[in-house]
Structures are given as structure tokens and as C-alpha cells.
Amino acid sequence: MSTLFSPIELRGLKLSNRIMVSPMCQYSADDGSANDWHFTHINMLALSGAAMFCIEATHVEDIGRITPGCLGLYSDANEAALKPILASVRKHSKAAVAMQLAHAGRKASSQRPWEGGQLIPISAGGWQPVAPSAVPHKESETAPTALDEAGLTRIRNAFVAAARRADRLGIDALELHGAHGYLLHQFLSPIANKRTDRYGGSLENRMRFPLEVFDAVRAVFPDRKPIGMRVSATDWVEGAWDLAQTIEFAKELKKRGIDWIDVSSGGVSPLQKIPLGPGYQVPAAEAVRATGVTTMAVGLITEARQAEEIVSSGKADMVALARGMLYDPRWGWHAAAELGGEVSAPPQYWRSQPSTQKTLFGATTFGTR
């Protein structure tokens, strides 16, 4: 039997397989609100065969968006725009729906990637980013505003408010974005965090704000629903955030009841040197898993047998796919066919299964007259 297509439980959420569609920014929202692009994108990938689909980085305040086109959940309009999309998913898909809550910190007010991805100055329609310290992402950029106590409280409360909105929408699980150089990662990394108060300096202090955000969200999100976090296991910069510190962070999250850690890397510095290759982040996921926390492996996982080996060998409990899913929106179906697994599909598609895979969609029949 395929381990990839075996069930797993995350708190009270039962998943039929070990595959998640990774949160993937679409940079296509209107003032933070989802639109017809998101309707198409989300509904398409909710039928991928993955047991869980994670909505892209959804920002908890307007100035926390990476780009003007990024999704948010900070207003009634944002919440209302997601309702019909989720209703359609529930009607046609059995996939669990998670949402990644995020704040971009000093990487906010950026152009969309296909427009260059650089900082948008206020004079060109951007806004003033905030961060742990007044240290820009690039030396040539205007410095962000260092957060004071009132700012920290505002952002914690914004995560809480977004979590409550997500629950009202019926979201099954949350993932906090603590990776890729965004705000929570900025607090963790000594590259971005130069504070001298209780939120900076020692590892304990740098972990404090991300842990406070996790605790605050966990306190208001229903206990039966799981919460995970995406982390950058290393900054890929000498003397910065690294795997040893990530493991200590994972231990603290475990004490607080974290349900999974999604192990990525990089993003906090343009000086990073990443050795890209298939499954290049899997060793970090395996190291984090040794703490006893359920882990997801991510990063250039594209082949069914590659994913199977990762979970069957115990390197991670689940895999999360991004680019592979965009290229092949039925990746889960094809992986199941290759590995002898089974996936859920709407009856309108049952006739698509290959003649050699009669049980791909279970014991289905399709009669005609």
C-alpha cells in the first residue's frame, strides 16, 4: 500500500492522504478581496486529489500585504468575497480547506513579481512597511518603521480577528506564515531583528512575538481545528537563522500544541545562497520531525515516487506541492494511479479514469442507456 495515500489526522481533522496543495500567492485580489480568478483557481485545485488545499497567504491587515494584489481577511468585504468560493468548493470537493494567515512586514508594498517585485515607494502608490527593526530588506530601500508596543498589539489582534473570520467562513485549518522573510520570520532572524528589548537579542526573545501570535490565534480558533506554521529552517546566510534555532522553535511550538510545521527556507535576505535541487528542503523537515512534531516537506517535490519515498521513509509526514500542482492540476490523481492509491473525484469525471485503473476513484459505476 502507498504511504502517501494513507490517512492522517491533524487534531480533529481527518485527511484521506498525505498531500496538501501549498498556499500560492496569486497577486490578483482587489483591495484584499478574492474575485473570479480566485474562484477558478481554488475550485480547480480543490479537485487535484490532494486531501487538503491551503488558500494563499491571506494578510491580516492592509499594510501587511506583500503587493497591492495580495489576498486579505481584514475587512467585511474580504470575508464576503470568499463565501461563494468556499460554498462552491464544499459543493464539489471533499478536500479540507486551510488558510495561511500572513503579514509581510518589511517586504510589504512590493510590485507583483511579473512587474519586477521591487518596493513601491509611497510616492508611487505604495505604503510604509513595518518591521521588528528599521532595517530594510535591501540596503538601497527606504527603511521600514520599527514596531512599538502598540503596533505589536495591533498586529496580534489582527491575526486574532482574521482567525475568527476564517472560522466563520468554515475554514478547516490555519497555517501561520513564519517563513520566507515575512514578519514572523523577521522577528526570528537576527538579520532583520536588531531590537534591544524583550523581542530581540537572544533566541528566546526573538521567538517571543511569533509564539505570542500563535498562542493568541490558538486561543480563539476552535480547539477541534488544527493550526500549523510554515517556517524557514535556514536563512542560507552565515551567522543568521539556522536549523538548530528552528529545532528549538519547533520544540516551543510543540509545547503549545502545534499540529504541524511546514518546513521551507530562505527569503529574509538577498544575500542568501540556496542550493536548489529536487527535495532540497527535505533534510530540514526530517530534522524538525525528530522533535515529535508532524511535519510537511516542501520544495521541488514534483514526482509521485519522490513524494512516496519522503513519507514512507519517515522524512516527513506529509508533502505540500505548489509549482507541481500549477503545472498538473490533477497531480493527485496521477500520483494515485502510479502508486495504486485512491482519490475522491466528482461523478462528472469518473469516466476519465484509465481503463487500467478501475478503482482510482473507488468502487464507482457509470451507467449509460
pLDDT at 350 over 90: no
User: Does residue 241 surpass a pLDDT of 90?
Assistant: yes
Q: What distance in Å separates the CA atoms of residue 281 and residue 278, rounded to the nearest whole number? A: 9
Average pLDDT, rounded, for the chain: 96
Q: What is the pLDDT of residues 106-137, one digit of tens each?
A: 999 999 999 999 999 999 999 999 999 999 99
Answer whether residue 355 shows pLDDT above 90: no
Q: Each residue of 34-43: pLDDT tens digit?
A: 999 999 999 9
* pLDDT for 183: 98
Catalytic-residue membership of 182:
yes
Residue 241 · residue 191 · CB < 8 Å = yes
pLDDT tens digits for 4-19? 999 999 999 999 999 9
- The set of residues, in sequence order, having a beta carbon less than 8 Å from that of 132 and lying 6+ positions away, is 105, 146, 147, 183, 186, 187, 192, 193, 194, 195, 199, 200, 209
The rounded percent of the chain whose pLDDT value lies above 70 is: 98
Query: Would you state the pLDDT for residue 363?
Result: 58
Residue 366's pLDDT is 61
pLDDT at position 369, please?
Answer: 65
Choose, from 27, 74, 182, 199, the residue flagged as catalytic: 182
Q: In the predicted model, what is the mean pLDDT of residues 94-115?
A: 98
Distance CA 311, CA 294 (A): 11
Q: What pLDDT sits at residue 95? A: 98
* Mean pLDDT across 159-173: 98
- Of the candidate ranges 93-107, 160-174, 350-364, the one whose mean pLDDT is the lowest: 350-364
Domain coordinates of the chain in residue numbers? 8-352
In this predicted structure, the answer to whether residue 306 has a pLDDT above a threshold of 80 is: yes
Percent of the chain with pLDDT over 90: 93
The pLDDT score that the predictor gives to residue 57 is: 98
What does the buried/exposed string (b/e) look like for 54-68 if buried means 16 or more CB atoms within 10 Å of the residue's CB? bbbbbbbbbbbbbbb
The distance of Cα 313 from the centroid of its chain, to the nearest Å, equals 24
Note the residue count of the chain. 369
pLDDT digits (tens, 9 = 90+) for 204-231: 999 999 999 999 999 999 999 999 999 9
- The yes-or-no verdict on residue 367 having pLDDT over 70 is no
Res 302 pLDDT > 70: yes
pLDDT value of residue 352: 86
Site of grid cell 472560522: 167
User: How high is the pLDDT of residue 368?
Assistant: 62
Thinking of the domain 8-352, which architecture would CATH place it in?
Alpha-Beta Barrel (3.20)
Residue 8 has what pLDDT?
98
